[in-house]
DNA sequence: TCCTTATTGATAATAATTATCATTATCAGT
DNA sequence: ACTGATAATGATAATTATTATCAATAAGGA
């Protein structure tokens, strides 16, 4: 069986841990497994509660510690939503944005190929700010929830 | 002396409270004063701590209650940032975006006149989502911090 | 000014996150 | 495979943030 995209992320995360001298422990694997399996951005508490479904599960402190580590290594990012801040999602390479279903929370990462350089230049002129980054997020309804 | 933009917002907020049958109390006025005077988006705790500088100040519960009320009336919105979620900022009419200085936190609201309708249409085709809203935020350095 | 009652302040209760430390388990080096 | 040094864990205490409770207070119409 061909390795799935999820398996690929998981093994690359484990490589990153090893190459930085961190151990690949069972609690860390469980947290990483949950994050990479999810179709929605999860909060730390949600990740912890999902882990309870398993036979053995990490303590809540280890969940927080693992998230802190993954964040420090740049492997995850925090997703912000109007009604529920700071969901966790794997970091994706390159410039991209997220698309969130308001109904079921399902998230998709989309390639950021919009051209707003002209808009940014105008903002810089008007405000005197130097702009070095932006967030673009889309909200709507996914195809499953539209039916 | 000409009434400032802040005074204008403040009196319109008070009108909104009155017209919805809510009382304009001292604690509410203090919270509204702090929000409208700030150049950065503030968290509930930050608003409370600023209020302590005054001679009389609201209890922490009243700060939360006032924020809940202002939010329900649509007078404030929550601003999300990578390192400090849920700052409070007055709602601005129309379609607009915010520009935040990563250094000092100073915030500006900018008119949303970018055209990303083509981009949105492409996203809808690719993903099957129906997109009904978006967030666009810019991060950078303000003119004061550039010097 | 008085009266009704919405609102407050003080604080208890709940929830979320971080810190502490003895015990456990990873994994590099045999 | 086995062993040992120590990174990491689990359990829990401490801290912080938010929400709920209720008697006392004050806003604002009559």
- Sequential DSSP letters for chain A: -PPPHHHHHHHHHHHHHHHTT----HHHHHHHHHHHH-SB-B-HHHHHHHHTTSSS---HHHHHHHHHHHHHTTSEEEE--TTS--EEEE--SSSEEEEEETTT-BEEEEE-----HHHHHHHHHHH--EEEEEEEEEEEE-HHHH-
- Assess whether pLDDT exceeds 90 at residue B95: no
More confident residue, A89 or A32: A32
pLDDT at A69: 97
Q: Is the pLDDT of residue A42 over 80?
A: yes
User: What is the percentage of chain A residues whose pLDDT exceeds 90?
Assistant: 58
Is B13's pLDDT higher than 80?
yes
Choose between B13 and B112: higher pLDDT: B13
Q: Give pLDDT tens digits for A85-105.
A: 667 787 777 788 889 888 888
Whether the predicted pLDDT of B91 surpasses 80: no
Q: How confident is the model at residue A135 (pLDDT cuts 50, 70, 90)?
A: confident
Instruction: Report how far residue A100's alpha carbon sits from residue A137's, in angstroms, rounded to the nearest whole number.
Output: 8
> What pLDDT, on a 0 to 100 scale, did the predictor assign at position A85?
66
Contacts of A147 in chain B (CB under 8 A): none
Place of tokens 């802190």: A68
Is pLDDT above 90 for A11? yes
Does B20 contact A at CB distance below 8 Å? Answer: no
pLDDT at position A3 over 80: no
Shortest Cα distance, chain A CAs vs residue B43, angstroms: 13
What average pLDDT does the segment B71-79 reach? 90
pLDDT in tens, B117-135: 888 999 999 999 999 988 8
Give the nucleotide at minimum CA-to-C1' distance from A66. D8
pLDDT band at B82 (very low <50, low <70, confident <90, very high): low
Q: Which residue has the higher pLDDT, A59 or B107?
A: A59
Picking from B135, B139, B141, B144 by the largest number of A CB atoms within 10 A of its own CB, the best residue to mutate is B135
Per-residue pLDDT tens digits for B46-65:
999 999 998 999 999 999 99
pLDDT at A102: 85
């Amino acid at each position: 069986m061909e390795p799935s995209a999820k398996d690929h992320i998981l093994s690359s995360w484990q490589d990153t841990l090893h190459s930085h001298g961190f151990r690949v422990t069972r609690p860390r694997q469980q947290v990483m497994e949950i994050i990479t399996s999810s179709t929605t951005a999860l909060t730390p508490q949600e990740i912890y509660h999902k882990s309870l479904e398993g036979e053995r599960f990490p303590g809540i402190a280890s969940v927080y510690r693992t998230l802190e580590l993954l964040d420090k290594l740049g492997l995850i990012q925090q997703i912000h939503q109007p009604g529920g801040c700071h969901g966790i999602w794997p970091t994706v390479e390159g410039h991209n944005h997220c698309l969130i279903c308001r109904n079921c929370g399902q998230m998709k990462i989309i390639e950021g190929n919009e051209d707003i350089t002209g808009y940014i230049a105008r903002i810089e002129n008007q405000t005197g700010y130097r702009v070095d980054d932006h967030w673009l997020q889309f909200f709507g309804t996914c195809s499953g929830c539209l039916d």
